Amino acid sequence: MEMSESLPKARVQIAHPAIAMLGLMIGAFVGMFSETALNIALPSLMASLHVTQGTVQWLVTGYMLVIGICMPLSSMLTKRFDTKKIVLFGLGAFLIGAVIAAMAPAFPVLLFGRMLQGIGTGLVLPLMFAVAMQIFPPYRLGTVMGLAALVIMFAPAIGPTITGILLGVASWHAIFWLLVPFLAVAFILTAIALDNAFEQKSIPIDWASIALSTIGFGGIVIGTSMASDAGWLSVRVILALVVGIAALALYAGRQLSQSAPMLNLKAFKNRAFTTGTLLVMLDFGVILASMYLLPQYLQNVMGLPVAMTGLAMLPGGIVNAAVSAVAGRLYDRFGAKWLTRAGFIVAAIGVVILMSTNAHSSLAQVIAGHIILMIGAPLAMSPAQTYGLNSLPGSQSADGSAILNTLQQIVGAVATAIATSMLALGSASQAGVAGLTTGAHLGFGFVLIIAIVAFVISLGVKGKVKSEDVPLN
């Protein structure tokens, strides 16, 4: 009893933190699952809804666009509204959006439902990490953040597998119906167990910052998404990127000059947070680009049907889940230094194996490369995330989580767009399977570069950091 009383307490005490966290994790899992689940279904959606490749891509782009707009707002909302109300609003929007998408008779209705789902992911995902930092004591954060990392790593990895199996036995409508019961459970658990986790302040709404954030993140997501079809040197792509970057620069300047900013970018003065954020961004880029390339490679180069493609990606998804669950506990024991370095080395080895395959390679070799990649990426993710967020004081935890998750989504969109461009470049250079193989190899080469850059940055990771040692300003 004396030992437990001497251990540091959580910043905010609630009656059932584990149940509250479970509700948040289920909601975030569904959001991240939805991020890659449609990749494998896009050809089916094109045929069923009679739309072009450029049009159907908006189901991915529109979803990420809304996420990119909502995430920077999440920190400001926690300062003005009760935490439970924000999460329930996000989960409710996601649930309604899933039902609308599942029943959609035409593409515009499906797109509307899909963008409603983006509201849920954009609010729930950053709050999952921010709330965890508040309601659990420091000595349990590694384990909890490891489980949270399992959500953002395992969900996009398992998305293509589940979708492939569903499409083998049902229509694309089943993908969205699958989400509904999980969202309902998340809503109930949150309503029962989550309490307010942040202090509310009477601060005015900064409409200029909201507009700049929306234009900035929206411009970058739209620009990178259009690049795969129009080319990176297209006038409309360049215009969207320039407008987005300029708006973000103005947004950052405004946040740094205000006494009560919408998003406290002064968190970047903390070196550990900056390093952890960069590593999480790059790790997520590795995951999303790979999860986009691999189904295309298996179907178009190796000739697997959609259901078999999903099954071929299952072993890697299972390994991903196992490593994500263990990585948090390893952080509690060893810190982030060696785990992040080892993780990116292992991930790079997996990518090299995938680059060495072709249409005549065995399926076992591709699965092996995927498994090794799925060992390395989650091994680095949870330690990097905990290392960065745990370095911030409680007053900055919501800001740090919103910053990290927003940039993660932006990098995911950019990495996916570049991977798509690599596929197109290879297809343009040669005809048939040879061109598709070259394009996939170029895409995996890009993933390898990301992993190497991340490893170099991980050399700057020190031992464990404690937020109690960090000044508030």
pTM of the model: 0.79
Q: Give me 328's structure tokens.
A: 């948090």
Q: Give me 409's structure tokens.
A: 């989504």
Q: Kindly list the distances between the CA atom of residue 68 and the CA atoms of 49, 52, 214, 409, 435, in Å, as whole numbers in the listed order.
A: 26, 25, 8, 7, 33
Q: Give me 54's structure tokens.
A: 């450029």
Angle at 382 between CA 95 and CA 339, to 5 degrees: 160
Residues with Cβ within 8 Å of residue 85, at least 6 apart in sequence: none
DSSP letter for 8, please.
P
Confirm if 217 and 410 have CB atoms less than 8 A apart.
yes
Supply φ then ψ for residue 260, to 5 degrees: -130, 75
**Low-confidence residues of the chain: pLDDT under 70:** 1-7, 53-54, 153, 228, 394-395, 463-473
Q: Give me 314's structure tokens.
A: 């299952």
Q: Collapse the DSSP code of 380 into the 3-class scheme (helix H, G, I; strand E, B; otherwise coil) and give the result.
A: helix
Confirm if 4 and 128 have CB atoms less than 8 A apart.
no
Q: Collapse the DSSP code of 201 into the 3-class scheme (helix H, G, I; strand E, B; otherwise coil) and give the result.
A: coil
Report the C-alpha gap between 445 and 87 in whole angstroms: 39
Report the C-alpha gap between 379 and 279 in whole angstroms: 12
Residue type present at position 455: F
Angle at 342 between CA 340 and CA 347, to 5 degrees: 95
Supply φ then ψ for residue 471, to 5 degrees: -65, 155
Q: Give me 226's structure tokens.
A: 């259009």
Q: Give me 24's structure tokens.
A: 């948040």
Report the C-alpha gap between 392 and 272 in whole angstroms: 9
Q: Collapse the DSSP code of 308 into the 3-class scheme (helix H, G, I; strand E, B; otherwise coil) and give the result.
A: helix
pLDDT at 14: 84
pLDDT at 444: 94
Report the C-alpha gap between 410 and 415 in whole angstroms: 9
Q: Give me 144's structure tokens.
A: 């909890």
Alpha helices by DSSP H, listed for 336-396, are: 337-355, 363-389
pLDDT at 415: 85
Confirm if 348 and 451 have CB atoms less than 8 A apart.
yes
pLDDT at 3: 44
End-to-end CA distance of the chain: 36
Report the C-alpha gap between 74 and 126 in whole angstroms: 7
Supply φ then ψ for residue 244, to 5 degrees: -65, -45
* Helices and strands (H, E) in the chain, number of each type: 18, 0
Confirm if 223 and 244 have CB atoms less than 8 A apart.
yes
Report the C-alpha gap between 244 and 277 in whole angstroms: 21
Taking the CB of residue 255, how many other CB atoms lie within 10 A of it?
A: 20
Report the C-alpha gap between 120 and 66 in whole angstroms: 9
Report the C-alpha gap between 463 and 281 in whole angstroms: 20
Residue type present at position 68: G
Encode pLDDT of 192-245 as tens digits. 998 888 887 777 788 888 899 889 988 888 888 777 677 788 899 899 999 999
Confirm if 114 and 141 have CB atoms less than 8 A apart.
no
What residue has token string 């439970």?
A: 84
Report the C-alpha gap between 462 and 378 in whole angstroms: 19
